[in-house]
């Protein structure tokens, strides 16, 4: 009997082609699941919103790190160093030295900050202006700000530093770029933490969707029992729940994308203002097309994973009584 | 079609709902399982549908020993049996048409073929005009007929029904039984559990009377004795293939 029936079904399928029949069946299940979500919009939106927030968090962290990398990448070239001259050095000597050094091929420019300039700047910036007025002599040295030529390598720069440090007028050579390296180390840690956070949040999405599907299964327990009585396989009964999970994931992913884009556009103006303060212009980097597509894709994958685990686990327990 | 060989069903509490039962139903027969409430009628039908498994003995349906039907093959097994329930077990969140179409969708029929068969089944139970209605807008008798249409839509050779007229008044009951009779006339084997003796008498079908899980000792009717003797001589399930 079973054989006859299957043969009949196959015959019926053959008329339209088995692939078409299979596609139609899946399409109608997918649409049915979507319809079910749409019919209870409040609950569905709530779930989708939670998923969206959970997905948007690692996505925004990723964006922050990506932007920070680009910005700090611009600092890599900041290999300037300062030459503090010995206290006894006169202004004339300092100017002469700046001239000589400035002519070297491996140096792009030299700027002299005289002791007076330095004190004025310090007075203005430190707020100790009045107290400093009582000083009888200027304790600050003349300083040369040296910018190596852009063709320099790490090696040539350290040689240059050594050479200039050995000049009789030089007191101390100070490199200003160490903090860039520290910043990179921090970024690296952040990135690793971000990956871990993303993994945890991914699990959270699976749990959220799994739990939603579990409740859905419980609410439809009777229906599942009846369908099993009529001869539906676990796979058949599971299918609409898998599509629900897929839809939740897709909805959450798309909403996450919208949240991130909105956040980005909201930050555009203040970031522009900040860059302006540094005399720069900076255009925030947004998600690439691939990254944008991957958020809903990841959402769908997690949705499928969550609904699969929940459906497989709870489906088996429901047997007709 | 149906063969019970020394079947016992003991429930976890230790209660034996079916005790050493031997019985058989031939292909094309229409038979009633009768007995008081608690006699084991439902359990007998549930053994046939593979909802319960026998504790001992063999239940052989259409040549298949239900004890050997694995979990994963139960759905395919159930699809060859049409089942009607006292409480209809319809899905109330969808219209009549979708309820009746469900077995066909499960079996993988295409939409057009399914639609054709659903209308044929609804026509046979006289509900063609109500295909778009929701089950709760129908009377109990109509709901039961939707259940019957769903049971026969995939043209099973065996139809089992557990007290299908339990909630119906006599006229509706007789109407429902006539529908079963019509399917039986076109070759479907029908097994109905019922305690509505006057109705069964009117239909004049063979009875399998149960009492405490056993065949009731017949008073004057010897047909059942003959039947048991018959079943005893069967050597194997081959005859039922
Ligand atoms: N799942 C079960 N667990 C324990 N006892 C049961 C179970 N199902 C049925 N029974 C018992 O088996 C007996 C037969 O039940 P049933 O087959 O439903 O009788 P009927 O349908 O003839 O009224 C009853 O005494 C009932 O209490
Ligand atoms: Mg019963």
| Phi/psi of residue B222, nearest 5 degrees | -100, -5
**pLDDT score at A300:** 97
pLDDT band at B241 (very low <50, low <70, confident <90, very high): very low
* Nearest ligand by distance to the CA of B86: 2
The pLDDT, as a whole number, for residue A118 is: 85
Residue A16's pLDDT is 61
- Domain A81-176's class? alpha beta
**Residue B154 in 3-state DSSP?**
coil
The predicted model gives A23-33 an average pLDDT of 86
Q: Is the pLDDT of residue A282 over 90?
A: no
Supply the pLDDT for residue A271.
Answer: 87
- The ipTM (two decimal places) reads 0.84
End-to-end CA distance of chain A: 25
Range with lowest mean pLDDT among A76-85, B73-82, B196-205? A76-85
Average pLDDT for residues B99-119, to the nearest whole number?
92
Q: What pLDDT score was predicted for residue B220?
A: 55
| CA B98 to centroid of ligand 2, rounded, Å | 27
Give residue B46 CA to ligand 1 midpoint distance, Å: 10
Query: B139: distance to nearest CA of chain A, Å?
Result: 20
Is the pLDDT confidence value at A5 over 50? Answer: no
Summarize pLDDT for A178-200 with one digit per residue, the tens.
Answer: 677 788 788 889 999 999 999 99
pLDDT band for A283, please (50, 70, 90 cuts): confident
pLDDT score of A11 more than 60: no
Q: Over pLDDT 90: what percentage of chain A?
A: 43
**Residue A89 structure tokens:** 């050095």
Q: Tell me the pLDDT band of A1, cut-offs 50, 70 and 90.
A: very low
Quick one: closest CA in A to B81, which residue?
A230
Locate the domains of chain B by residue range: 2-80+156-239
- For the cut 70, the answer to whether the pLDDT of residue B225 exceeds it is no
Cα–Cα distance between A205 and A61 in angstroms, integer? 17
Where is average pLDDT lowest: A153-162, B16-25, B216-225?
Answer: B216-225
Check residue A81 and give its pLDDT.
Answer: 82
Task: Find out whether the beta carbon of B11 lies less than 6 Å from any atom of ligand 1.
Answer: yes
Considering only residues A95 and A181, tell me which one the structure prediction assigns the higher pLDDT.
A95
Q: Out of A9, A227, A229, whose CB is closest to B108?
A: A9
Digit-coded pLDDT (tens) for B69-91: 998 999 999 999 999 998 999 99
Ligand nearest to the CA of B9: 1
Q: How far is the CA of B38 from the centre of ligand 1 (A)?
A: 6
- A231 and B78 in contact by Cβ < 8 A? yes
Is pLDDT at A4 greater than 60 in this prediction?
Answer: no
The confidence score (pLDDT) of residue A246 equals 96
> Which residue in A289, A211, A187, A283 sits closest to A54, CA to CA?
A211
Q: Pick A13's closest partner by Cβ from B62, B108, B150.
A: B108
Q: Please give the pLDDT value at position B218.
A: 63
Chain A contact for B49 (CB, 8 A cutoff): yes
Q: What is the pLDDT of residue A148?
A: 82
pLDDT at A14 over 50: no
Work out whether strand A107-113 and strand B81-84 pair parallel, antiparallel, or are unpaired.
unpaired
Of A125-129, A316-320, B213-217, B230-234, the poorest mean pLDDT is in B230-234
**Nearest CA to CA, how far is B209 from chain A (Å)?**
24
Ligand 1 and B179: CB distance under 6 A: no
Of B83, B112, B113, the CB nearest to A229: B83
Give the residue, A154 or B235, on which the prediction is more confident: A154
pLDDT at A2: 44
pLDDT confidence of B53, banded at 50, 70, 90?
Answer: very high
What distance lies between CA A86 and its chain's CA centroid? 47
Contact B110 A230 (CB under 8 A): no
Instruction: Please check the confidence at residue A203 and state whether its pLDDT lies above 70.
Output: yes
Per-residue model confidence (pLDDT) at position B186 = 93
Please enumerate in sequence order all residues whose Cβ is within 8 A of that of A110, keeping only pairs 6 or more positions apart, or say none.
Answer: A98, A101, A102, A144, A145, A146, A147
Q: Verify whether ligand 1 is closer than 6 Å to residue B14 (CB atom).
A: no
Sheet containing strand B2-10, edge to edge, reads B16-25, B2-10, B56-61, B64-65
pLDDT for B170: 86
The CATH T-level fold of domain B2-80+156-239 is Rossmann fold (3.40.50)
* More confident of the two residues A252 and A317: A252
Given a cut of 70, whether residue A294 has pLDDT beyond it is yes
Token pair listed for A125: 């910036």
**Domain extents in chain A:** 25-74+182-315, 81-176
**Contact yes or no for A93/A84 (Cβ under 8 A):** no
Does B103 contact A24 at a Cβ distance shorter than 8 Å? Answer: no
Question: Residues A115-168: pLDDT tens digits?
Answer: 888 888 888 777 777 777 777 788 888 998 888 877 777 677 778 888 888 988
Alpha carbon of B63 to those of A5, A15, B152, B236, B237: distances in Å?
Answer: 16, 32, 21, 9, 5
**Residue range A204-216, pLDDT digits in tens:** 999 999 999 999 9
Decide: B146 and B96 in contact? Cβ < 8 Å: yes
**pLDDT at residue number A188:** 87
Q: Where does A76-201 show beta strands of DSSP type E?
A: 81-85, 107-113, 143-148, 170-175
Per the CB < 8 Å rule, is A2 touching B75?
Answer: no
**Environment class of A190 (CB within 10 Å of its CB; exposed 0-12, middle 13-18, buried 19+):** middle
Measured in whole angstroms, the distance separating CA A222 from the mean position of its chain's CA atoms is 45
Report the distance separating Cα A2 and Cα B157, nearest Å.
10
Q: Best-predicted range by mean pLDDT among A27-41, A117-131, B112-126?
A: B112-126
How confident is the model over B178-206, as a mean pLDDT? 91
pLDDT at A89: 87
pLDDT at A3: 44
* Cβ separation B107–A16 shorter than 8 A: no
* Measured distance CA(B149)–CA(A274) in Å, rounded: 73
CA of B44 to the centre of ligand 2 (A): 9
Nearest chain B residue to A237 by CA: give it: B106
For range A110-115, the mean pLDDT: 89
What is the average pLDDT across B6-17?
A: 94
The pLDDT tens digits for A51-76 are: 999 999 999 999 998 888 887 766 65
Question: Per the structure block, which two tokens stand in for B133?
Answer: 């209605």
Q: Is B63 on the interface with A (CB under 8 A)?
A: no
- Gap from CA of B194 to ligand 1 centroid (Å): 15
């Amino acid at each position: 009997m079973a054989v006859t029936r299957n043969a009949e079904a196959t015959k019926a399928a053959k008329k339209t082609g088995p692939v078409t029949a299979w596609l139609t069946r899946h399409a109608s299940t997918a649409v049915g699941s979507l319809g079910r979500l749409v019919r209870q919009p409040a609950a569905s939106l709530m779930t989708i919103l939670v998923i969206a927030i959970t997905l948007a968090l690692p996505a925004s962290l990723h964006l922050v790190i990506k932007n920070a990398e680009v910005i700090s990448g611009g600092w890599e070239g900041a290999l300037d160093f300062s030459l503090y001259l010995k206290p006894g050095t006169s202004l004339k000597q300092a100017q002469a030295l700046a001239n000589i050094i400035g002519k070297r091929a491996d140096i792009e420019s030299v700027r002299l900050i005289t002791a007076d300039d330095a004190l004025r700047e310090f007075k203005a910036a430190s707020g100790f202006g009045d107290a400093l007025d009582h000083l009888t002599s200027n304790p600050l040295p003349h300083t040369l700000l040296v910018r190596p030529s852009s063709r320099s390598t790490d090696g040539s720069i350290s040689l240059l530093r050594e050479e200039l440090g050995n000049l009789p007028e030089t007191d101390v050579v100070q490199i200003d770029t160490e903090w860039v390296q520290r910043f990179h180390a921090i970024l690296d840690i952040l990135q690793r933490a971000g990956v871990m956070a993303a993994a945890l949040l991914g699990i959270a999405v699976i749990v959220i969707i799994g739990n939603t599907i579990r409740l859905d299964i419980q609410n439809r327990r009777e229906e599942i029992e009846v369908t099993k009585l009529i001869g539906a396989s676990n796979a058949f009964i599971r299918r609409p729940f898998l599509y629900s999970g897929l839809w939740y994931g897709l909805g959450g992913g798309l909403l996450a994308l919208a949240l991130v884009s909105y956040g980005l556009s909201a930050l555009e103006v203040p970031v522009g203002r900040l860059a302006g303060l540094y005399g720069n212009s900076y255009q925030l980097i947004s998600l690439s097309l691939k990254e944008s597509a991957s958020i809903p894709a990841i959402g769908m994958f997690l949705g499928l994973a969550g609904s699969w685990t929940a459906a497989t686990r709870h489906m088996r327990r429901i047997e007709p009584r | 079609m149906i063969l019970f060989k020394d079947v016992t069903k003991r429930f976890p509490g230790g209660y034996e709902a079916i005790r050493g039962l031997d019985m058989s139903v031939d292909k094309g027969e229409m038979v009633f399982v009768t007995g008081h409430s608690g006699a084991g009628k439902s359990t007998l039908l549930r053994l046939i549908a593979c909802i319960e498994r026998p504790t001992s003995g063999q239940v052989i349906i259409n040549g298949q020993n239900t004890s050997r039907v694995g979990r994963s093959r139960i759905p395919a097994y159930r699809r060859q049996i049409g089942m009607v329930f006292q409480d209809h077990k319809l899905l109330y969140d969808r219209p009549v048409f979708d309820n009746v179409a469900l077995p066909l969708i499960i079996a993988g029929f295409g939409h057009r073929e399914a639609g054709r068969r659903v209308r044929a089944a609804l026509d046979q139970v006289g509900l063609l005009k109500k295909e778009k209605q929701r089950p709760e807008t129908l009377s109990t008798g109509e709901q039961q007929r939707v259940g019957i249409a769903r049971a026969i839509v995939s043209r099973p050779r065996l139809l089992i029904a557990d007290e299908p007229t339990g909630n119906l008044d006599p006229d509706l009951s007789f109407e429902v039984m006539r529908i079963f009779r019509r399917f039986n006339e076109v070759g479907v084997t029908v097994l109905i559990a019922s305690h509505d003796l006057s109705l069964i008498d009117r239909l004049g079908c063979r009875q399998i009377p149960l009492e405490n899980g056993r065949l009731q000792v017949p008073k004057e009717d010897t047909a059942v004795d003959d039947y048991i003797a018959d079943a005893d001589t069967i050597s194997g399930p081959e005859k039922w293939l």
